[in-house]
Amino acid sequence: MFLSVVLLLLLVRDSYASHFYGVMMTYYPKASYINGSTSVELHYKVSYDLCTHTDSWSCSGNCGTETQILPLTKVDEISGEWCQREAVTSRQLTSNSPLTLVFASSAWISNVHGIGSWRAVTNVELRTRSDISKANTSPQTTVLPALRVPYNCQRNISMLTFDPDGDDVRCRFASSALSECVTSTNLSDLSISSSSCTLLFSSSANSSQGSYVVQMVMEDFPLQTITLTQTGGSQVQKTTSDAISTIPIQFVLKVDAAAPSCTEGQYLPRFLSPTPNNRAQLYTSVNQMLVIIISSQATQATSSELLYSGPYNVTKSSLGSGSFSLTWTPSVAEGGESHPICFVVQATVSSSRYQSELRCVIVTVGNSPSTTAAAPTTTTTQSPTTTQSPTTTAEFPTTTTQSPTTTAEFPTTTTQSPTTTSILITTTESPTTTTKFPTTTTPILTTTTQSPTTTTQSPTTTIPNYNN
């Protein structure tokens, strides 16, 4: 009996000891006051094997008073493997001087490096920048807790690198010498392209199988020498070689057994148009529904699941035949912010799992809940009534105006074949306000004909067939 209890305790201990799947953080300066005080909002995601583990961050420097806005709330989960959750906190600060946040504990899931404890560091810079006359906003990114690749297939994982201030964003492995992690990741199978923030995996050895701990940092650099001014007037300079802020990106890369083929679209799912391109910029408004439709193909496997990382209140749905949707309605609290969403499609053959490439988009949210954000104009020349592809057709409902003095824009509805998709933006509009966001090359289609007193739409529209 005693031996059974000991064995049970060891199993519980080992289960808890190998539970960490990674972390990331971004921040947004929120307010500056005449007395020199300021506030900052911090968004972070932590990933464990279960949705029950807690977290604790330590702070040094200008820490101020912390307020929890959102407790740890589930984003997405693979039952029995990982759970990612998001939390949001705010700090009210007496000045705009920097602060550092550290997340440290143990232990990583079992991995080929033998790394146990983790440490992740965020350097928050809030001093007023001379080039934009306001505080710095960190780069915006996210990633899934675990990505998969067969050991015989090279994979380039292109991280999202959106910076609201237009800075130069670079990535590198975290350094234990700089106290950015406990043990540095250093394997010949993994490398990073600093300027593109692309993680490269390349191996052909069966011995490469296992879980790799990926510990990266993402930093923003000014495009020219700038001055940072602190409350009270003191100043420091940042050159193009000086990082302004630092955020952690930590996750797991699972290297699986060899795939029968590395050609995308066979075992490894391939994205089909018009799934948004990687790093595409989308626009929506507060209280306005954004729908992203994603399509994939794997001829030798079953595309069974969409996995994503993004805001906690994004919902996902399966549309069948390798097609899925992500739906998000941002709240007033998210107005004026940019939020990353990353996703992969996972296919299965028996017990083997194969993932598509990682794709990410950035969604910029307008401030006004009464402003309709029409879909950005695309740079592709097209006629709303011209058939571009015989297999990609979307039908839109006939619409009528709500009143003689109201300009109304109605949701678009996409009827799709198993291999075609569309990104839709569904809007609810204030009676007299219609605002369009800047031009983008994202393949998003919204067809609207407006006049001062009526809004009509053509009964049918054919979407061009974009190849990704």
Domain locations in the chain as residue ranges: 262-468
pLDDT confidence tier of residue 1, bands split at 50, 70 and 90: very low
Comparing 174-183, 223-232, 444-453, the range with the smallest average pLDDT is 444-453
117: three-class secondary structure by DSSP: strand
Distances (CA, A) of 7 to 49, 108, 109: 21, 22, 20
Which residue carries 């780069």 as its tokens?
A: 139
Burial of 403 (0-12, 13-18, 19+ CB in 10 A): exposed
Q: Is 265 left (phi over 0), alpha (psi -120 to 50) or beta?
A: left
Kindly state the tokens that stand for 379: 């740079």
CA 246 to chain centroid = 17
| Per-residue pLDDT reduced to its tens digit, 118-134 | 999 999 999 999 999 99
How far apart are the C-alpha atoms of 117 and 182, rounded to whole Å?
Answer: 6
β partners of residue 20: 48, 108
**Domain 262-468 carries which CATH code?**
2.60.40.10
Q: Residue type for 428, please?
A: T
CB 365 within 8 A of CB 335: yes
86: three-class secondary structure by DSSP: strand
| pTM given for the model | 0.77
What is the model's pLDDT at position 423?
Answer: 46
Q: Residue type for 358, please?
A: L
CB 408 within 8 A of CB 402: yes
Centre a 10 Å sphere on the Cβ of residue 71 and count the other Cβ atoms it contains. 11
Comparing 53-62, 316-325, 375-384, the range with the smallest average pLDDT is 375-384
For residue 394, say if its preceding peptide bond is cis, omega within 30 degrees of 0: no
438: three-class secondary structure by DSSP: coil
How far apart are the C-alpha atoms of 205 and 33, rounded to whole Å?
Answer: 58
pLDDT at residue 411 tops 70:
no
Kindly state the tokens that stand for 414: 């996409």
What is the model's pLDDT at position 205?
Answer: 81
What is the model's pLDDT at position 17?
Answer: 65
Q: Give the mean pLDDT of 5-19.
A: 47
* Better-scored residue on pLDDT, 15 or 42: 42
Q: Give the mean pLDDT of 257-265.
A: 97
CB 266 within 8 A of CB 298: yes
Q: Give the mean pLDDT of 283-289.
A: 95
